[in-house]
C-alpha cells in the first residue's frame, strides 16, 4: 500500500531535549516536505526536499533541521525544542519533478505527529 | 498579497442537506487548486484537484468542485451530506510555474463541518 509513515504519532517532551520525527514514503517520490498545523493558521511549510541531499527552507524553518540521505526518508529534527513548537506536524511527498511543473501530481500526507513541548 | 481564503470557519448542516464550502484565492495567475479533508486524528486526504480543462471537477466521496476564474473561486459541493463527512476541509493552491525548486502548497485556514443527525 502506498503511504507516508510518520513516527511517533504522539510525543510529549520537555524544553531543550532533542527529538526527531521520522518520515518515510514507499512511493519512490522525489519531493518531500514538512508542514506544521496550528489552530487558526492552517498548514505552513517548514522545509522541503527536491531529492537526496537537496533541502531548503519553507515559510517557518526557525528551530528545525532536516536531512535527506535516502530518497524514502525525510526526518524532522528539533535540536532544542521550545513550547512554541508545540503543534501538529505533517510530512508529505509527491512524484513532482523539478523543472516539469506540478505535472498533475498531488501531495500525499502522513497521519501526522502531535508534539507537545513542556 | 497572495492568499487563500476560506471565509467560513465553521459550518453546520443537517444530514441529507446539500453543502457548499467556499474557497477564494488571490494570485496573479490561476493556480492549481486542491481540496483536502482531515478527519479527527487523521492526516490529510485529497478530495479533488483542478489543473486545467473542465471547470467542474469530480472527486472522491461524492464531492465536486467548480473553478470560476471570474470569481477566483473553487467552491466544494456535495448534494447530500452524510454524518461521516464531519471533518475539517482545507482548500490549497500551488502556483503552476514550470521550473523552480519548491512545490509548496499554500493552505486556507480550514472550514470545520459539523453534521447534525
Q: How do residues B53-91 score in pLDDT, each as one tens digit?
A: 889 999 999 999 999 999 999 999 999 999 999 999 999
In angstroms, what separates the C-alpha of A35 from chain B's closest C-alpha?
A: 9
pLDDT of the residue at A7: 97
Q: Kindly state the average pLDDT of the residues A36-46.
A: 90
Q: At which residue does the C-alpha cell 498545523 appear?
A: A37
B98 pLDDT band (50/70/90 cuts)?
A: very low
**Rounded Cα distance, A15 and A21, in Å:** 16
The CA angle B38-A63-A8, to the nearest 5 degrees, is 45
Is it the case that residue A61 has pLDDT exceeding 50? yes
Is it the case that residue B2 has pLDDT exceeding 80? no
**Cβ of A19: how many Cβ atoms within 10 Å?**
18
* 3-class state of residue A112 by DSSP: coil
In angstroms, what separates the C-alpha of A106 from chain B's closest C-alpha?
A: 8
- A95 closest CA partner among A108, A83, A84, A86: A108
Tell me what the pLDDT averaged over chain B comes to.
89
**Nearest neighbour of B104 by CB, restricted to A58, A101, A106:** A58
User: Quick one: DSSP state of residue B88?
Assistant: E
pLDDT of the residue at B91: 95
Q: Which of residues 11-30 of A touch B (CB under 8 A)?
A: none
**Nearest neighbour of B109 by CB, restricted to A33, A42, A92:** A42
- CA-to-CA dists, residue A33 to A4, A113, B21, B25, B110, angstroms: 11, 14, 27, 22, 20
Amino acid at each position: 500500500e502506498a503511504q507516508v509513515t510518520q513516527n511517533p504519532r504522539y510525543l510529549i517532551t520537555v524544553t531543550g531535549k532533542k527529538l526527531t520525527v521520522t518520515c518515510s514514503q514507499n512511493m519512490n517520490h522525489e519531493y518531500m516536505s514538512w508542514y506544521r498545523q496550528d489552530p487558526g493558521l492552517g498548514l505552513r511549510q517548514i522545509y522541503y526536499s527536491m531529492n537526496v541531499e537537496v533541502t531548503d527552507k519553507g515559510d517557518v524553518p526557525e528551530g528545525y533541521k532536516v536531512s535527506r540521505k535516502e530518497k524514502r526518508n525525510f526526518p524532522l529534527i528539533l535540536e532544542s525544542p521550545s513550547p512554541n513548537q508545540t503543534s501538529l506536524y505533517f510530512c508529505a511527498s509527491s512524484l513532482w519533478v523539478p523543472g516539469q511543473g506540478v505535472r498533475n501530481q498531488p501531495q500525499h500526507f502522513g497521519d501526522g505527529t502531535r508534539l507537545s513541548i513542556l | 498579497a497572495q492568499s487563500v481564503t476560506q471565509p467560513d470557519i465553521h459550518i453546520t448542516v443537517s444530514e441529507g442537506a446539500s453543502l457548499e464550502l467556499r474557497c477564494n484565492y488571490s494570485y496573479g495567475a490561476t493556480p492549481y487548486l486542491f481540496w483536502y479533508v482531515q478527519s479527527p486524528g487523521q492526516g490529510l486526504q485529497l478530495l479533488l484537484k483542478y489543473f486545467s480543462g473542465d471547470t467542474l471537477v469530480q472527486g472522491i466521496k461524492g464531492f465536486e468542485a467548480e473553478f470560476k476564474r471570474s470569481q477566483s473561486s473553487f467552491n466544494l459541493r456535495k448534494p447530500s451530506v452524510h454524518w461521516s463527512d464531519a471533518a475539517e476541509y482545507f482548500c490549497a493552491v500551488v502556483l503552476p510555474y514550470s521550473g523552480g525548486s519548491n512545490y509548496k502548497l499554500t493552505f486556507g485556514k480550514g472550514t470545520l463541518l459539523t453534521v447534525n443527525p
